[in-house]
Amino acid sequence: MTGPNQDVQRRPGHASDFARSLAVRLVRSGFRVVVGSRNPKRKASLFPAAAEVTFQAEAAKKADVIFVAIFREHYSTLCDLADVLVGKILVDVSNNTEINHHKESNAEYLASLFPACTVVKAFNVVSAWTLQSGARDGNKQVLICSNNQEAKRTIAEIAQVMGFTPVDMGCMSSACEIENIPLRLLPAWKIPTFLALGLFLCFFTYNLIRQVIHPYIREQKNKLYKIPIEVVNTTLPCVSYVMLSLVYLPGVLAACSQLYYGTKYRRFPDWLDQWLQHRKQIGLLSFFCAALQAVHSLCLPMRRSHRYLLIETAVKQAMEKKKTIWVEEEVWRMEIYISVGIIALGLLSLLAITSLPSIANSLNWREFSFIQSSLGFIALVISTLHTLTYGWSRAFDENQYKFYLPPTYTLTLLVPCTVIIARVIFSLPCIQHRLLRIRRGWEKGRYVKFVLPSATGEFSSGETSSNV
């Protein structure tokens, strides 16, 4: 089977949505589809008119490639067709209900039941909706693995004709990993999400103590009304600001490591390597918190408590016979603070948009690097100015420390300022030139040491030297 107008059998266990969707997609792609069923008359109306629905044994005889669309526990029902299936390519599209639910993958189990057939694991990461609407509306990748190279090539050609991108995942031992992929819930987002939640809880607790609990203890003022909006609004920018700095901190640590060891070939520690791989998710969560903070800030004047405070201020002004309470410095501070904040949010929006695969694929490497690295660092600097403008001179006001607690924004400056100072130092000609040479392959020593991967995929402690 090398192209359209060939025989493909779809063997549904009970005419699932996936089976119907795959049959529709195959027919639209120009393949001749034969559906095998134990009750073809009842199932015929569920499939396209161009697809032939017949009994399983007859369908197996007509097809060279058979898509097995049944659950693992029903594989044994195919044993009666063992003689007819000899030499056929069986495409296992099944998934489990739990990760590593069985000792062996479904594809390996199917191969053990039919040793005279060639089993290929494919299409299990593609949803029924993607098959119906086309590859452009869903994940375009089709992960394929098998012990037979020719069978993989055949299924890859089918996937390409259907509008998908085949990805060779190697031999059948990779089937277990492929079957676990649809069961994982945002695996790349777990660490960044827990990090964001941890920072949020820390800053929220600190702000709760500073803005609600302390005023009640010291002055008997009930300010619990601040919790839903004001305390959250103070917490979100802190989380966003620190998360943005954590996007660029691992790059600083990686550069320090390369400068210290004088090579780019030394492997980073596992924690730093994982940190570098999660920068995209950390950056998107930073933008998410910044967007939420912007919405909260717009809602501040809409609160009933804010209106009461305005009326109370107006009454006090009238009673004290003050003509104006205009403070020029405060007016300028807030104008600059809001203006810089809008610019920072705009840059974060640009970083978030260009990190999406559909946008990133339209950029060359220099454009992508300029936006994510150079503009990203500028966004961090402007966010720092936004924070400093908010604080102005209040960070050094004695009244701010009467509860022995510094303002929250002063706590957030540590990591971002460290990153900014480090980037400025790296931009010095002497250091920048050395770092650039290292990243182009220059070595501090005469020998390059490579750490060989072990059989488990992890790097072992043994090293071999190669003369350069």
Q: Which two tokens stand for residue 406?
A: 């510094």
* Helices 429-439 and 232-261, axial angle in degrees (round to 10): 70
| pLDDT (average), residues 62-83 | 91
- What does the block give as tokens for 131? 């098959």
Strand partners of residue 37:
55
Closest CA to 380 of 332, 352, 354, 347: 347
Taken in order of first residue, the domains within the chain and their CATH numbers are 7-183 (3.40.50.720), 187-467 (no CATH)
pLDDT grade, residue 468 (50/70/90)? very low
Q: Given a cut of 50, is residue 436 above it in pLDDT?
A: yes
pLDDT of residue 400: 47
User: In this model, does residue 464 exceed pLDDT 50?
Assistant: no
pLDDT over 90 for what percent of the chain? 61
Per-residue pLDDT at 298: 92
State the pLDDT confidence band at 8, using cuts at 50, 70 and 90.
low
309 pLDDT band (50/70/90 cuts)? Answer: confident
Residue 72 contacts residue 109 (beta carbons within 8 Å):
yes
Mean pLDDT, rounded, of the chain = 87
State whether residue 168 is helix, strand or coil: strand
Poorest-confidence range of 22-36, 130-144, 177-191? 130-144
* pLDDT, tens digit (0-9, with 9 covering 90-100), for 154-181: 999 999 999 999 999 999 999 999 999 9
pLDDT score of 403 more than 70: no
pLDDT band at 448 (very low <50, low <70, confident <90, very high): low
| Residue scoring higher pLDDT (217 or 425) | 425
* pTM, to two decimals: 0.78
Whether 399 has a pLDDT exceeding 60, the answer reads: no
> What confidence tens digit (pLDDT) does each residue in 195-244 have?
999 999 999 999 999 889 988 888 888 889 999 999 999 999 999 999 99
Out of 334-343, 377-386, 391-400, 440-449, which region has the weakest mean confidence (pLDDT)? 391-400
Binned at pLDDT 50, 70 and 90, residue 15 comes out as very low
* Contact between 121 and 179 (Cβ < 8 Å): yes
pLDDT for residue 450 is more than 80: no
Apex CA 208: angle with CA 205 and CA 214, to 5°?
125
pLDDT at 103: 84
Q: Which helix (H) or strand (E) holds 373?
A: none
401 has pLDDT over 50: no
In angstroms, the CA 142 to CA 135 distance is 10
Per-residue pLDDT band at 463 (split at 50, 70, 90)? very low
Q: What is the pLDDT of residue 11?
A: 56
Predicted local distance difference test score (pLDDT) of residue 13: 44
Predicted local confidence at residue 327, as pLDDT: 85
Top mean pLDDT of 121-135, 224-238, 318-332 is at 224-238
pLDDT in tens, 38-58: 888 888 888 989 999 999 999
Q: Shortest CA distance to 126 belongs to which of 99, 166, 97?
A: 166
